[in-house]
Amino acid sequence: MIKRSFVYLNLKIAMVFLSYLFSCSSNTDYKTSSSDFFELGIENVILDTMNLAIDSLTTIPENSQLIRNDSVFFFYNKSNLSLEFYHRFDSISFNRVFLESEGPNGLSGMNGVYYISNDTIIGSRVNELILFNIKGKIYKRIKLNLDGLGSFPDLMIQGTKPIVFFEDKLIISIFPHLNPNNKSHLENWKSFVEIDLNSGIAKSFGELPQVMKDFVFGINYLNFSFVKNSEDELIISFAPINDLFSIDLNDPDRNLDRIILKDPNFNSAPPLSDPKNSDMQYVLSHYLFNNSFDAIYYNGTNYIRIIQKPISEDEFNSMSWAKRKVMIWYDLNFVPVLSHDLNSRSLSYNMVYPLDSAFISRVSSSMEDSFQFVLFKN
């Protein structure tokens, strides 16, 4: 039953999130004035546009970061097991590092990769962390053992779920292999794992908000996004809830505190009307027909949150499932300073990169030889 549940959860996650979040294509050149960008209806907040040339081996990345003083895009290309480095300001400069799949330095089967430096890159498997360098040489493996979260909870490394360093520990988000329609399982649900790099000991923390334990929202609404701010707090956006939440990493109890947000206000999603119905179409339609609060980012000056608006019945029937986006900027006290209805399905909320007083985001387009980006500035 556990193995079947494992496959079932992953199939549903893959269907919903991969089917429409990663639709795209990417020449690093500013001021391209491509009409693809300005059809988004957000000319008043676009500072600039950018194309990033790609070759035929590049696929839509599941993991990406902006590294090296915000000058290099780092992508993990899972399809050919490689690390890719694209330079923002030099359309010619590009580097791809192929990793070994088998043997002492075998890195096949990684679900996520996070770049720290050329000497420290972190890869994740189902129940294992792997530390290796830019040449693909593995120097540490950490096997994880987490009780109470089902068989082999997934380690989640994505744009909306970064790896956090705190003291001598790593904090990584997780997705338990529990039943999302079972309230007793939701009561035990955890969102994070903290891993001591010296001992390898891992412990989970981060309960769900009480409303998500009292009611069933469905597997898609168990998605969340988080950032670490300069106050050593994790600021968390749970997909069904308008308000934000925080965890103080200096608090040994790691309590979850609610941050009540002021206007602009969007309705939280309701729970499933039939909590025992786990039919994929029923659960998916509930997610798509309601608001979802799917991404939060932080650049030291502002937070931005990307909210996805409900789709229509006709859009659902035609499998046009990408939601239109709203971008809200908050100051450091979570007071909203800007709200922009992007009226666009094209923005990839999982590929947003914070800069000083700005954010870069990938948008989908019909171009097959480049990834395309817009630069938003307050």
Rounded to whole angstroms, the Cα distance separating 305 from 338 reads 11
Does residue 140 lie in a domain region? Answer: yes
| 101 compared with 198, residue with greater pLDDT | 101
pTM, 2 dp: 0.86
Q: What pLDDT score was predicted for residue 377?
A: 79
Domain contains 254: no
Asked if pLDDT for residue 58 goes beyond 80, the answer is yes
Euclidean distance between CA atoms 48 and 30, whole angstroms: 7
> Which sign does the torsion angle of CA 351, 76, 145, 253 carry?
negative
Q: Which amino acid is at 51?
A: N
In a domain, 123, yes or no: yes
Give the torsion sign (CA, 83, 172, 176, 323). Answer: negative
**To the nearest 5 percent, what fractions of the chain are helix, strand and coil?**
15, 40, 50
Query: What is the distance between the alpha carbons of residues 46 and 360, in angstroms, rounded to a whole number?
Result: 10
What's the pLDDT score for residue 151? 67
In angstroms, the CA 118 to CA 114 distance is 11
What is the residue range of 173's domain? 99-157+161-207
Count of structural domains, the chain: 1
In a domain, 338, yes or no: no
Cα distance between residue 367 and residue 36, in whole Å: 9
Q: What percent of the chain has pLDDT over 90?
A: 57
- 246 assigned to some structural domain: no
Q: What is the DSSP letter of 276?
A: T
- For 131-141, how does the pLDDT look when each residue is reduced to its tens digit (9 = 90+)? 999 999 999 99
- In three-state secondary structure terms, 355 is strand
pLDDT at residue 345, as a whole number: 80
